Amino acid sequence: MVVGKLERLQKYLARCGVASRRKAEEMIKQGLVKVNGQVISEMGFQVEPEKDKVEVQDRKIEPEKRKVYLLLNKPCRVVTTLNDPQGRKKVTDLLKGVPERVYPIGRLDYQSEGLLLLTNDGELTYRLTHPRFEIAKTYLVKVQGRVNKQNVDRLQKGVELEDGLTQPALVKIRQSEPAETFLEITIREGRNRQVRRMCEKIGHPVISLKRLKFGPVDLGNLKVGQYRELKPKEIQALKKACHLK
């Protein structure tokens, strides 16, 4: 009997655009994935893509015929999760005319806005969100009070949060007034609500937060709530940033 090329189940799910590889692993652990009618919950399981029938929540999964790469200017009060028990507006609700199933690369919290990348390229998503690739993300942050040089230095050197010391950040004061300060903050980590927690730690709670840049891709002048397809050179730049050919 001739056996075709085998592929790890979580990698196959990511390649099909179901989710990032890490999210796919969670779905497998939760018993949401079937192969040939059998629930699979082990991480080392391999499939033969040309032969095996793979389902997620009883929906047959196959590789997307077209890879899609989108840049969205996310508004405030929109969630980046694809299912929200509270019934709030989702980023995918803004993608009119996109037939492919796409998923956010990383997250922006409910109250944050700005650049959000979405794709059905699971391998790219996996690499851009994996800590070892240290992809830079830049934010424009308005905080309460006037931030002094000492606190800028604290942010740049790293602050101690409940989940450990943050990596050094690049911080610039864009505008400073007695009641509020605009900071430009660049980090290379992806912890939950990290920028907000960093600012709270130095005594300057965030008033508003907008992501301006993800790796080599800039938000530019895209209007809030609108999206566009990434240009080929932007896609190549993202792949190069995470060493993906």
| Interval 153-198: pLDDT, tens | 999 999 999 999 999 999 999 999 999 999 999 999 989 999 999 9
Superfamily of domain 136-214: Alpha-L RNA-binding motif (3.30.70.1560)
The sign of the CA dihedral 204, 209, 215, 218 is negative
Secondary structure letter of residue 69 according to DSSP: E
Q: Is 144 exposed, middle or buried (0-12, 13-18, 19+ CB in 10 A)?
A: middle
Domain segments of the chain as ranges: 7-60, 69-131+217-241, 136-214
Would you name the residues annotated as active-site residues?
Answer: 109
Query: How long is the chain?
Result: 245
Q: Is the pLDDT of residue 4 over 80?
A: no
- Mean pLDDT of the 36-42 span: 93
- Beta-bridge mates of residue 72: 116, 227
pLDDT tens track for 232-244: 999 999 999 999 8
Q: Is the pLDDT of residue 1 over 50?
A: no
Superfamily of domain 7-60: RNA-binding S4 domain (3.10.290.10)
- Mean pLDDT of the 32-54 span: 92
> Same CATH fold, 136-214 and 7-60?
no
Q: Is the pLDDT of residue 43 over 90?
A: no
What do you get for the CA distance between the two ends of the chain, in Å? 33
Determine the pLDDT at residue 15: 83
pLDDT tens track for 88-127: 999 999 999 898 889 899 989 999 999 999 998 888 998 9
**What is the phi-psi region of residue 32: left when phi exceeds 0, alpha when psi lies from -120 to 50, beta otherwise?**
alpha
Residue 201: partners with Cβ closer than 8 Å, 6 or more residues away:
159, 160, 161
Q: Of 42-46, 198-202, 205-209, which gets the smallest average pLDDT?
A: 42-46
pTM: 0.80
- Mean pLDDT of the 126-140 span: 94
Residue 23: partners with Cβ closer than 8 Å, 6 or more residues away:
103
Determine the pLDDT at residue 153: 97
- Mean pLDDT of the 222-231 span: 97
**pLDDT band (50, 70, 90) for residue 22:** confident
Measured CA to CA in angstroms, residue 91 lies from 113, 130, 133 at distances of 11, 22, 25
**pLDDT band (50, 70, 90) for residue 82:** confident
Q: Is the pLDDT of residue 2 over 50?
A: no
What is the average pLDDT score of the chain?
Answer: 93
Under DSSP, is residue 92 helix (H, G, I), strand (E, B) or coil? helix
**β-pairing, 206-214 with 217-218?**
antiparallel
The CATH number corresponding to 69-131+217-241 among 3.30.70.580, 3.60.15.10, 3.30.980.20, 2.10.10.90 equals 3.30.70.580
Residue 51: partners with Cβ closer than 8 Å, 6 or more residues away:
4
Q: Is the pLDDT of residue 65 over 80?
A: no
CA angle 65, 69, 70 (to 5 degrees): 135
